[in-house]
Amino acid sequence: MQFKGVGKALPELVRTNADIERDYGIRADWIYNRVGVRQRHIATHENNTSLAVDALKRALEDAGMEFGDLDCLISASVTFDYVLPNRSSLIKHAFTRNRDNEIPCVDINTVCTSFITALDYAACQIASGNFRNVAVVSSEIGSKGLNPKSPETFSLFGDGAAAVIVSTTENEEAGVRSYRMKTYSDGAYDTIIPGGGNVNHPKDHPYEQELYSFQMRGPRLLKLANSVLPNFMQELTAESDQPLNWVVPHQASRMGLKLLSGIKTVRNTPIVQTLENHGNCIAASVPLAFVTAVEDGRIQDGDHCLLIGTAAGMSVCGMNLTYATS
């Protein structure tokens, strides 16, 4: 599997810590010191589909391809414009409604690590000869589910989207070297949006900010991540004999990134950090960091990258990947 193109899209509106201090009384320096974010993009006129479409357009342009060159479209996102149809079908509709383009649209959701799981799925499909060119898109608007009364999560999250196009290659060094995911269920309810599904359906539970906002037991999750990540990463990287060039993590939080950087397996490997500028963009975090580092030239052809993240559920998911453009 080679990478033919990458792209990203961010909402027009940037909300700085100074904006948050002015509007919500949460101190700007506290936000930066505690949460690690300086600014985040917040959707106004954009929606999940439009951001995904913009990111995918740029990835197609980068690849020198047209939508019609794709064989499959995968959406790897948590938030959505509509409960149904699925996200990928709406993205495709924005590109073409012609009957001569019938590529399948699949959504894959492992919460914040959806992009990594979807990339593994794409790699399997390409390896088995089912598809030549697959687009994987993550697009997230988490900002509607934030509560200013929870200053830490309110200032942590941002909106954004990123896309990659992956393709067949004869380069045997290219692509997935190892992939691994584990779900640790003692943390299943530590990250949740209680309202909006069937348990607290809008029909029975009218909108109320706390119920419909993201809730996170941060310290419990950090403790859980701390207890499982070192072994997980050791196992994941042990399957490859190549030294790592880059760690591309989910931008969970300042504390999460700090925890990661202390793990022996990656202690000497640079970590791509976009948290300061984008915040935590849920499942779009990993591809946004990846695309940013490819676009600015940090990640080079042949580099070995570790995509890694924790997700609500609570899961850890990682991929050891050789980035190749041929």
Residue from 37, 42, 53, 106 touching its own copies (CB under 8 A): that is 106
User: Which among 4, 7, 51 has a CA at the least distance from the CA of 295?
Assistant: 7
Q: Which of residues 280-319 bind its own copies (CB under 8 A)?
A: 311-315, 317
Number of residues lying near its own copies (CB under 8 A): 74
Name which of residues 2 to 41 contact its own copies (CB under 8 A).
none
Round to whole Å and give the CA distance between 212 and 120. Answer: 32
Question: With binding defined as CB under 8 A, does residue 103 bind its own copies?
Answer: yes
Burial of 96 (0-12, 13-18, 19+ CB in 10 A): middle
- Residue closer to its own copies by CB (options 141, 284) is 141
Question: Min. distance of Cβ 45 from its own copies in angstroms?
Answer: 12
**Using CA atoms, how far apart are residues 160 and 55, in angstroms rounded to an integer?**
9
Which of positions 178-217 make contact with its own copies (CB under 8 A)? Answer: 181-186, 188-189, 191-199, 201-204, 206-207, 209, 212, 214
- Catalytic one of 17, 47, 72, 112: 112
Angle at 253 between CA 287 and CA 116, to 5 degrees: 30
> E strands of 119-209, at which residues?
133-140, 160-167, 175-183, 191-192
DSSP per residue, 233-247 = HHHHHHT--SPPSEE
Please tell me whether residue 133 binds its own copies under the rule CB under 8 A.
Answer: no
Instruction: Indicate the residue among 110 and 322 with the shorter CB distance to its own copies.
Output: 110
Specify burial of residue 78 (Cβ count, 10 A radius: 0-12, 13-18, 19+): buried
250 is catalytic: yes
Using a 10 angstrom Cβ sphere, with 0-12 exposed, 13-18 middle and 19 or more buried, the burial of residue 202 is exposed
Q: Determine if 48 is a binding residue for its own copies (CB under 8 A).
A: yes
- CB 270 to its own copies: min, Å: 28
Which one of residues 13, 65, 71, 86 is an interface residue with its own copies (CB under 8 A)? 86
CA gap 2, 36 in Å, rounded: 33
Q: Site mask, its own copies, residues 217-256, x = CB under 8 A?
A: ----------------------------------------
- Residue 280 annotated in active site: yes
| Residue numbers annotated as active site | 112, 250, 280
